[in-house]
């Protein structure tokens, strides 16, 4: 762990990292640090230039009274309500913007029924929750199912697994047979990448896999179940090497 800086949020690493303070002139900015704007009420801040000791990214910070940040968040909330309506209207007027779903609904339903769990069942042990399959709906991402604040994009998950399985089939046809572990790992990865947040915005990376689960509050999608399901459904199971 690098030393020599206060741990603050690095916008490039997207986590809190030790960052050193450097002069704003290092970024071609004026050297003075006390700034105010009074066009919409008084906003005053203390500027610092920081450099992340992990990735070397340089960025400006503004130290303000915390009330300004709360104000920013509440303004964003209000704006987002307005934008949500506009975004909905844009998508309604232009159906071609929506992902053209090609995965059969029946396959999506069986996928969810085979992989969904209810983690906090009264019995004390997780139980399968096939009923989530009935809650699949068509979003602009294709088939989707909501789990609290997150949405599992089952159509995209299956589509990406299908591409990966086809690549494995091509490799197999050339005589190089993949192992079950390899195929399962690729499927698990694609499934963990098909999650959107409450705004319907797909996460840019992969949703964390906890043990074998994408945990959404009290519910989960089991990625090992997903691998078994896709391997069995696709018929590739009979070709794979056991390892």
| Binding site residues, Zn ion, CB under 5 A | 10, 12-13, 17, 52, 54-55, 57
Closest CB 19 distance from Zn ion, rounded Å: 7
- 22 vs 37: CA distance, rounded Å: 23
Backbone conformation region of residue 157, classed left if phi is above 0, alpha if psi is from -120 to 50, else beta: alpha
User: Which one, 11 or 235, has the nearer CB to Zn ion?
Assistant: 11
Closest CB 46 distance from Zn ion, rounded Å: 21
Closest CB 14 distance from Zn ion, rounded Å: 8
User: Which one, 26 or 85, has the nearer CB to Zn ion?
Assistant: 26
User: Which one, 8 or 239, has the nearer CB to Zn ion?
Assistant: 8
Closest CB 20 distance from Zn ion, rounded Å: 12
Length of the chain: 243
Q: Which helix (H) or strand (E) holds 77?
A: helix 66-93
User: Which one, 51 or 212, has the nearer CB to Zn ion?
Assistant: 51
Q: Is 196 exposed, middle or buried (0-12, 13-18, 19+ CB in 10 A)?
A: buried
Q: Please, what sign has the CA dihedral across residues 159, 162, 164, 166?
A: negative
């Amino acid at each position: 762990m690098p030393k020599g800086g206060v741990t603050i949020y690095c916008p490039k690493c997207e986590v809190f990292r030790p960052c050193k303070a450097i002069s704003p002139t290092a970024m071609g900015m004026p050297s003075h640090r006390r700034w105010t704007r009074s066009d919409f009420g008084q906003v005053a801040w203390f500027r610092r230039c920081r450099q992340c000791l992990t990735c070397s990214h340089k960025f400006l910070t503004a130290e303000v009274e915390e009330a300004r940040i709360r104000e920013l968040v509440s303004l964003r909330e209000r704006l987002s309500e307005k934008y949500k309506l506009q975004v909905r209207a844009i998508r309604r007027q232009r159906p071609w913007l929506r992902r053209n779903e090609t995965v059969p609904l029946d396959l999506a339903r069986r996928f969810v029924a085979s992989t969904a769990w209810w983690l906090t069942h009264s019995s004390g042990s997780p139980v399968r929750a096939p009923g989530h399959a009935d809650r699949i709906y068509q979003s602009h991402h294709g088939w989707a199912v909501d789990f609290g604040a997150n949405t599992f994009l089952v159509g995209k998950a299956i589509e990406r697994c299908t591409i990966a399985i086809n690549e494995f089939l091509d490799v197999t046809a050339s005589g190089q047979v993949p192992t079950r572990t390899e195929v399962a790992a690729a499927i698990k990865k694609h499934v963990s990448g098909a999650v959107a947040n409450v705004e319907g915005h797909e996460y840019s990376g992969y949703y964390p896999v906890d043990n074998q689960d994408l945990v959404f509050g009290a519910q989960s999608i089991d990625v090992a179940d997903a691998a078994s399901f896709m391997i069995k459904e696709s018929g590739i199971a009979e070709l794979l090497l056991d390892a």
